[in-house]
Amino acid sequence: MAISCDALQVYEGLSVLTGVATAAQRERLEHRLVGFVPVTQPFSVGDYMRLAHEEIDRALEAGRRPIVVGGTGLYLRAAVAELSLVKAPPGAEDSELWSPRTRLPTTIFGLDMERSPLYERIDARTEAIVAAGAEDEVRRAEELGPSRTARKALGFDELLRGDVERMKKRSRNYARRQLTWMRKIPDLRRIDRTRREDSDVAGTILRLLA
């Protein structure tokens, strides 16, 4: 079972924009905590933490292995630990969020990639998202009156303006921040996936878990 830790994939009606697993992918592996929050409703990391803990505990009780997957670092931390929701004091290091204390024994993998092929992949993925109808999604959500948190979906405002190049640039910048965050995680198992097929990367992870 895959449990999403993406802050925006929770919203229904934005599955193309936020890259929710396709129907075919979800037939192969069940995905939870995706597409269940109305786009008009605010949603916080505190809301997510409670639901993620419930999903993980339920999976373990059923003898299943939960896989927490996604790109929102704070949500990942909230899923695997008891995240303090008290505002950090001024000057606190981001790495303080990543103490080795997790609720349950947890192995964390981080996928890395050389910058040039990563940016090419991001640009191609952005074009594919637009071609798949993300702009229509955004305009339907805009008509409903999206919440402040829903509007944070990367590309939302850019697609309302028809600015795909700006969306690509923001995506590349966000990827850099994700990599910086990832490298601060204690005991992270880093996997370089540059020029590797998905099946090869998955095989590496399975071998490391064996």
For residue 26, count other CB atoms closer than 10 A to its CB. Answer: 13
What phi, psi does 27 have (nearest 5°)? -70, -35
Predicted local confidence at residue 91, as pLDDT: 62
- Which domains, ranges and CATH numbers included, belong to the chain? 2-209 (3.40.50.300)
* Burial class for 126, CB neighbours closer than 10 Å (0-12, 13-18, 19+): buried
* Position 40, amino acid: T
Is the predicted pLDDT of residue 86 greater than 80, yes or no?
Answer: no
For 125-140, how does the pLDDT look when each residue is reduced to its tens digit (9 = 90+)? 999 999 999 999 999 9
In this prediction, what percent of the chain has a pLDDT beyond 70?
Answer: 93
For 136-152, how does the pLDDT look when each residue is reduced to its tens digit (9 = 90+)? 999 999 999 999 999 99
What phi, psi does 162 have (nearest 5°)? 70, 25
Q: Are the CB atoms for 52 and 3 separated by under 8 Å?
A: yes
Rounded to the nearest integer, the mean pLDDT of the chain is: 92
Is the predicted pLDDT of residue 167 greater than 80, yes or no?
Answer: yes
Show the tokens assigned to 31: 């995905």
Is the predicted pLDDT of residue 52 greater than 60, yes or no?
Answer: yes
For 184-197, how does the pLDDT look when each residue is reduced to its tens digit (9 = 90+)? 888 899 999 999 99
| CA pair distance 85, 72, nearest whole angstrom | 16
Show the tokens assigned to 43: 């949603």
